[in-house]
Chains A and B, each alone.
Chain A
Amino acid sequence: MSFMTTSRLVGWLQDIVGNDGVVSHPTELSVYDCDGYTLEKSAPDVVVLPRSTDEVAAVLKRLQCEGVPFVPRGTGTGLSGGCLPLGAPVMVSLSRMNRILELDPANRRAVVQSGVINSWVSRAAKPHGLHYVPDPSSQMACSIGGNVAENSGGPHTLKYGVTTNHVLGVTLVLPDGEVVRLGGMTEDGPGYDLLGVTVGSEGTFGIVTEAILKLQPLPQGCKTLLAVFDSVADGSAAVSAIIAGGIVPAALEMLDHLIIQAVEDAFHFGFPRAAGAVLIAELDGLEAGLERAAGKVREVCEANGATEIRVARDDREREALWKCRKRAFGALGRLAPNFCCQDGVVPPNRLPEIMERVAAIGKAYDLRIGNVFHAGDGNIHPILLYDERDRDETERVVAAGREILRECVRLGGSLTGEHGIGVEKVALMPLIFTPDDLRTMEAVRAVFDPGDRCNPNKIFPSAEERVEVRTPRRQAAM
């Protein structure tokens, strides 16, 4: 946008949200140039921070009049560049809409503004013996609005499902400023499940300002086991065997050798540094069945070559263990100045194969790759270490990441389990969707955002990219 347009726009936006609700100083804008995905950067021209649905609606109406594209942002912890402003001069930050509006323990519901931090919901519900189940590893910082946009998962979604299974309704401000409520406090409202398709739409339908969440009773009991294996292959075999044995743990998480070392250096939990892999298996539910289920998991792990099995003695040890797991990828900050956390999915019984392929790809591209993943649902997170000052290495990271995802698809899986397509994987979409599939999705998008102004240039590849899959979309920012 030209300087004139920007300054006029700033004035209009200030009229709506007040002077302190608009960020337009270059220094203050510079820090909005990326989210948790740092391979591409682009700062917005204006950031606006509304405090209510009405303000969001007024802002979007104004942007509609001016034909200005915009991008919504929660707390910017996304890992696929979902809130990177690409052709969207205005960023709408939901961070001031951070109030829990209503807690209804009897009906197990919470109504929250979309800037509320994920972990706050469980914190508020805890005195009532309830919690909000989806627990992405970034739960201490990510916003509910971001979770809704990305349909976020987390370790405990194996048994309980992801965000879409725990959201009953949203208030959506359409790109033209119209406010519409989808879903609601009750379960079976008549009509199309527009809520279901809005969750996971990566902020391309409009701006979700409020959400009605389902709460669940805290499990009566919990058993957390840590099984040590010589190799990821052994651990993966144990995962398949546990699932095949009819046990559904609340979580089944694996860390490989490189990650174990980084995490141990960071948090001194007491992981065996020499281990090839550790598997965290958490069982929860009624006390009555836990002991036996834990025994079964133990047996299966031993039968599949576990060299050691530990059980968390108390809540504190359990919490410490989860802290290690959830902050594992950050611990890699100690090993290299930059990393790229990939997110692919394979059917769980193909885990040994994909892990072999990841290792081979790491070798071929001369990269260090650590693996920490949601083993139970086959959601892998290879973490590629690099130094962004090394241009060649950065390019190899991009190429290796793509190759890993191609392997996931080849094995019957998907490009992303929980991080979203964002800008990162746009060019890979044709690997799993036909032009007709994509056109159908775009037709649905056009219903919500006919002008293609809400979070443009995400999810859908351009015409050229649909033809030639192998052309990288953009060069990684250096």
Chain B
Amino acid sequence: MSRASLVESTPDWDGFDDDLRLFEVAAGTSTDCVRFTIDGVPPERVLLPNSAEQVCRILQIATARGVALVPAGFGAHLGLGAPPGRPYAVLSLASIDALLDHQPANMTVTTQAGMSVAELQAAVAGSGQWLPVEPPLPAATSVGGLISADLSGPSRFSQGTVRDLLVGITVARADGTLVKSGGRVVKNVAGYDLAKLYCGALGTLGVIVEATFKLRALPAAVAVARVACSDMAVARELLERIRTAPVEPHLIELLTPIPSAGGDCVIVVAFRGSREEVAKQQETLRALAHGKTMEERVGDAAAAALAELRDANVRGEAFLKLKASLLPTELPPFVSALEDASGEHGLTMAVQAHAGNGIVRVRVHHPNVEDTGGSARALVEQLRAAAAALGGTLVVEQVAPDLKPGLDVWGGGIEALPLMRRIKEALDPGGVLSPGRFVGGI
């Protein structure tokens, strides 16, 4: 099915506005339009419903009036994905933000999608619990956005990603029906696990209004260590030793600038757990890193260092941000490919890899602001080919708005794309939700 056929009619914005007034849906201001601008194109409208019922209403109206909707939270992560294929309205869940049900004894929490991750963490921390997923900018990230953009941080090494924690979900379908899957208990195999479908779907299949997560106990102690390595070979060897050592790191990150000047490759390892566990592991790590410069932090200083690490990629300035997914052992060859590319294109880069997961985030800087379009495209193609040769994939996570139209952010060759198109067609036949934002123009 081609993208064009998903659009049923030209949007009737006036009718859309009239209908919305009837149902008293709050409209955003022009500031909101700026905030929710996607790749330089501002939304036609910003809608701020205050209930799941209103969300369903809006979806029905949008379908009837042929209006495209982009579900959003606070707009912090809208740079991900392709720009919408046609004029759109943003449907922000920011006002649907209640904590519905926290059951400390059962280690579950149910919240509306508009609550920020930071607020959610604060709410459950009182019971000594946390949602063990650390997206960048948690105060600016809604629960719905966390799921839709499948955001994760360095801690995914030990804690998994949002799909591992989501036990139930309520979604407004494109036709305005409210449906759920899963439930509020941590173990449940009744019916299909549709919650997984919405993870990382970028709002193309439905509007998430409510989610239930598993929680974990907040660990008592935390420690972070930065170990400097003279080059990738040394770093690789240390990673290998950590992998087989009696430690259970909270995260393992590899940081290196490209081109590397030597000695600026860093491995960050964090431990969380009981005081004994953390202390013992620090000791083990010291032995493993013997002879290397190692900087350690504990307590609040460690927490601050982890927050910095979590946000580094999003906060860091770059004209192009990439994410490669590889086998963990393919990290060093991919870094070599980055070195080669940097030489050829005269670029510098910053690499932050979730080393244990094989996830590599690359921030590409350009010494010369002119003519970045052509080289961006070429670079993405080249690195995508390098990742593919190593059995991996590469997506563009962020790029200057003017460069985006010419870029394939997701990459091609997705084997299951025909099935994915059929899923989209089954759940959003009118192509109302985030049209054109996802893989293959979905």
A in complex with B: yes
Chain A residues engaging chain B, CB cutoff 8 angstroms = 104, 106-107, 109, 129, 150-151, 153, 157, 161-162, 164-165, 180-182, 184-197, 199-201, 217, 220, 240, 243-244, 246-248, 285-289, 292-293, 345-349, 374, 377-379, 412-421, 425, 429, 432-434, 436-438, 440-441, 443-448, 459
Question: What is the total number of residues of chain B having a CB less than 8 Å from a CB of chain A?
Answer: 80
| B315 contacts chain A at the CB level, 8 A cutoff | no
Contacts of B411 in A (CB 8 A): 190
Contacts of B118 in A (CB 8 A): none
Contacts of B105 in A (CB 8 A): 240, 243-244, 347-349
Count A/B pairs, Cβ under 8 Å. 238
Give the contacting residue for B325; candidates A186, A195, A197; CB below 8 A: A186
Contact B184 A181 (CB under 8 A): no
| B265 contacts chain A at the CB level, 8 A cutoff | no
Q: Residue among A162, A414, A445 with the most chain B CB within 10 A?
A: A414
Contacts of A417 in B (CB 8 A): 185, 187-189
Q: Residue among A189, A416, A448 with the most chain B CB within 10 A?
A: A189
- Measured CA separation A116–B306 after assembly (Å): 41
Distance (Å) between the CB of B345 and the closest chain A CB? 24
Contact A286 B104 (CB under 8 A): no
Known: A106-B328, A192-B197, A440-B194. A180 touches B426 (CB 8 A): no
Distance (Å) between the CB of A410 and the closest chain B CB? 13
| B11 contacts chain A at the CB level, 8 A cutoff | no
Contact A181 B185 (CB under 8 A): no
Contact B281 A286 (CB under 8 A): yes
Interface 1/0 per residue, B156-193 and A, CB below 8 Å? 00001001100000000100011111011111111111
Question: With A247-B217, A436-B173, A447-B423 given, can you name 17 additional A-B contacts, CB distance below 8 Å?
Answer: A161-B164, A162-B187, A181-B416, A184-B391, A189-B393, A192-B201, A193-B201, A197-B194, A286-B246, A292-B276, A347-B105, A349-B106, A378-B106, A414-B183, A414-B190, A432-B191, A443-B427
Contact B196 A286 (CB under 8 A): no
- Measured CA separation A413–B212 after assembly (Å): 13
Chain B residue nearest in CB terms to A434: B179
Name 12 interchain pairs, CB-CB below 8 A, sorted by A. A161-B164, A180-B415, A186-B325, A190-B411, A193-B200, A196-B193, A217-B248, A246-B128, A347-B105, A416-B190, A436-B177, A446-B426
Name the 10 nearest CB pairs between A and B, nearest first: A196-B196, A246-B217, A288-B280, A289-B277, A349-B105, A347-B106, A188-B325, A414-B188, A186-B325, A417-B187
| B238 contacts chain A at the CB level, 8 A cutoff | no
Give chain B interface residues in 250-299, CB to chain A under 8 Å: 273-274, 276-277, 279-281
Give the contacting residue for A429; candidates B160, B191, B426; CB below 8 A: B191
Distance (Å) between the CB of A266 and the closest chain B CB? 27
| B20 contacts chain A at the CB level, 8 A cutoff | no
Contact B181 A185 (CB under 8 A): no
Give the contacting residue for B190; candidates A289, A432, A436, A445; CB below 8 A: A432
Contact B274 A197 (CB under 8 A): no
Contacts of A162 in B (CB 8 A): 187, 189
Contact A441 B194 (CB under 8 A): yes
Contact A199 B193 (CB under 8 A): yes
Distance (Å) between the CB of A251 and the closest chain B CB? 13
Distance (Å) between the CB of B240 and the closest chain A CB? 8
Contacts of A440 in B (CB 8 A): 173, 177, 179, 181, 194, 427
Give the contacting residue for A187; candidates B181, B358, B427; CB below 8 A: B358
- Measured CA separation A193–B104 after assembly (Å): 29
Chain B residue nearest in CB terms to A405: B190
Known: A349-B105, A436-B179. A192 touches B247 (CB 8 A): no
